[in-house]
Structures are given as C-alpha cells and as structure tokens.
Amino acid sequence: MFFVACLLNLCKIIAKINRYGVFVSEKKIALASDHGGFELKAILAEHLRAMGFSVADLGTNSGESVDYPDYAAKIGEWISGNPTDMGILICGSGIGISIAANRNSQIRAALCHDGLSASLSRQHNNANVLCLGARLIGVDSAKDCVNKFLNTEFEGGRHTARVEKLSDFIKKE
C-alpha cells in the first residue's frame, strides 16, 4: 500500500512537468503592459499558457495610449495579495514600468534584455517581476527571458543579506 501511495505521488509530480521540463505549480503568472507592450504581452500570455501556467492578464487590453504606472501598480497589488507569485510587466522600453514597479515595497522588478540577465535577476536578486521593453527586444529573446526567469531559483546565501537590505530602504522612509 505504501508503494502504491508513493507511486501515485510520483505520478502527480511528473504530470506537473511540462514539455519544456519546467515543474508547473499551481502558481499564476500575472502580466500587465501599457499600450507599447500590448502585442508582446499577448504573445507571452499564449507562450505561458502553452507551458502550462495559469495567466492573470491585468491589462491593458488594446493598443490605445495608457499610463504605464497604472499597470505597474496593478502588478504591485497582485503580488501583495499573492506574495509567492510572479509578474511580468512590459512597456515600450521597459524602463518606465520597471521604475514604477519598484516603488512598491513588495516588488523586486528587473529589466532584462536576455536570458542571462533574467537568470541572474532571480539567482542573485530574487526578482519577482520581470520587465521587458517591447520596442527593444525580439519575441524570441522575450520568450528566453521568461523561460529563464521562471526556471531559475534564488541562490540565497551571500545574496540573502543584500536582498534584505532592499527592504530596509523602505523601512527607513
């Protein structure tokens, strides 16, 4: 009986490994963008769904001009209510939306341009929001960033104290 129970648990774990070799948990990925990132957001939402993730699309829902700080705030609200989840933000350059996102004390947003920067943002900085510049990065590079961001764990160790200092900045204000 014990063997059967172990085998069933193993099957449940294997069933959560998608075709990319990624262990898919029950976590959702929240996406948001301004008008400059709207098209890339739609592409990445489909990419994430194909990988087996549940996607929470927080807008915008068209290419009409909107203000990026509003969508960074939506990701901030999402992460505050779901602290173990991750988010992806996209604007034209990625710069404005990453600055806006990092105003929220729950967010550690990283503007990434390639898979290495996305991996290091997780590994060394425990980033929980990936920011992308739709006008500066191609679709394949954006997908690589997403894959590396979601597949890299925080290394901890010597990086933990540094990441904790980021929270100390908020406490001093």
Is residue 134 assigned to a domain?
A: yes
Indicate whether 10 pLDDT > 70. Answer: no
Give the chain's mean pLDDT. Answer: 88
Is residue 5 assigned to a domain?
A: no
Is residue 167 assigned to a domain?
A: yes
Instruction: Give the whole-number percent of the chain exceeding pLDDT 90.
Output: 70
CB 87 within 8 A of CB 78: yes
User: Cα separation of 104 and 44, whole Å?
Assistant: 24
- The domain containing residue 96 runs over which residues? 27-172
Residue 45 maps to which CATH number? 3.40.1400.10
Count of domains for the chain: 1
Indicate whether 142 pLDDT > 70. Answer: yes
User: Cα separation of 126 and 129, whole Å?
Assistant: 9
| Catalytic residue annotation | 91, 124
User: Cα separation of 4 and 161, whole Å?
Assistant: 43
Helix axes 139-151, 38-50, angle to 10 degrees: 50
Is residue 9 assigned to a domain?
A: no
Q: How confident is the model at residue 43 (pLDDT cuts 50, 70, 90)?
A: very high
77-124 pLDDT, tens digit each: 999 998 889 999 999 999 999 999 999 989 999 999 999 999 999 999
Is residue 150 assigned to a domain?
A: yes
| SS3 track for 108-165 | CEEECCCHHHHHHHHHCCCCCEEEEECCCCCHHHHHHHHHHHHHCCCCCCHHHHHHHH
Q: How confident is the model at residue 53 (pLDDT cuts 50, 70, 90)?
A: very high
User: Cα separation of 128 and 29, whole Å?
Assistant: 10
Structure token pair of residue 167:
């929270």
Q: How confident is the model at residue 6 (pLDDT cuts 50, 70, 90)?
A: very low
Indicate whether 5 pLDDT > 80. Answer: no
Is residue 7 assigned to a domain?
A: no
Indicate whether 7 pLDDT > 90. Answer: no
Mean pLDDT throughout 58-71? 96
Is residue 142 assigned to a domain?
A: yes
Backbone angles phi, psi at 22, to 5 degrees: -95, 130
User: Cα separation of 7 and 46, whole Å?
Assistant: 32
pTM score, whole prediction? 0.83
Is residue 87 assigned to a domain?
A: yes
pLDDT recorded at residue 166:
82
